[in-house]
Structure 1
Amino acid sequence: MASTLREKGVNAIVDQVEIQQETLNLNSMMLKNMQKSDFILVIMTENYAYRANNEIGGVGFETNSLVNYTRENISKIIPVLKGNSDKSIPFYLKGISYIDLSNEKNFRDNFKNLLYRIYQQDMIKLSPIGEKPNFKTEKIEPFDI
């Protein structure tokens, strides 16, 4: 996914690539990347959700950081569903809209949605608001008995 995003002009970085280049403090690297990135893609799988929900390893640290971060920067978080069940969504992202890349059938269209989101482009544009119709109120006259 990162390679395809990079091919489309997105400077996508991946933790695994960064840590193979030099010895890093992983927690510091995650925090630094969260702060400097325009967007954070959270790739949701069942394994990721399990590790996030149980605060295991680097995913657990990332979760603790993202829980606080999402309160102030929710628009920077782009959850991407790769697992094919609700078990793939960690507790802190429940109820938040996500890009569904779990289904091969819709993958290309939804990947296009991801690119539009990253480039902050509207996929759908509403027509301008027209003029208010000229309403005529009818008056009901009383009648004599």
Structure 2
Amino acid sequence: MVSKHGQARRETAARVVARLIARDGRLDWREIEFLERSGAFGMLGVARERFMELVGRCLGEQAAAPESAAQLEAELGAVRERDAQLVVAALLVYLSEIDHDVQPRESALVSRALRQWGLTPEALHSEIRVPAERTRSVLRRAGAGGA
């Protein structure tokens, strides 16, 4: 059985991924399909149904007002385990480009997560096999919009 603290850590990691999905204010079926195919729900340690609740909450919050930088920093800071950081970072990279149109706000979230966790495109490649050029491509858009 997972402790409440362990479940909260997992949900925080899943919430960071849900925030990326909610960044454009809509849910794209390709994003959920990717998460299902990749086994992301299992890697994040949350059930699909719970993840969808988190996405719904993030979409509602996004519609009311974008998250504050302090709130995002706190959520990113709560993802402390290196393995979880790597999984979340990889998911953020792949999800941000799923519609072949990386939005600046998506890129900014990826950039902020990598920076806070001390990850580079090269580290993602060597530790979890995300192509470094793919990550760099997503990061190039970060300067065009806010976090």
Question: TM-score, normalization: structure 2?
Answer: 0.29
Bigger radius of gyration: 1
Question: TM-score, normalization: structure 1?
Answer: 0.29
Greater relative contact order, per chain length (Cα 8 Å cut-off, separation 6+): 2
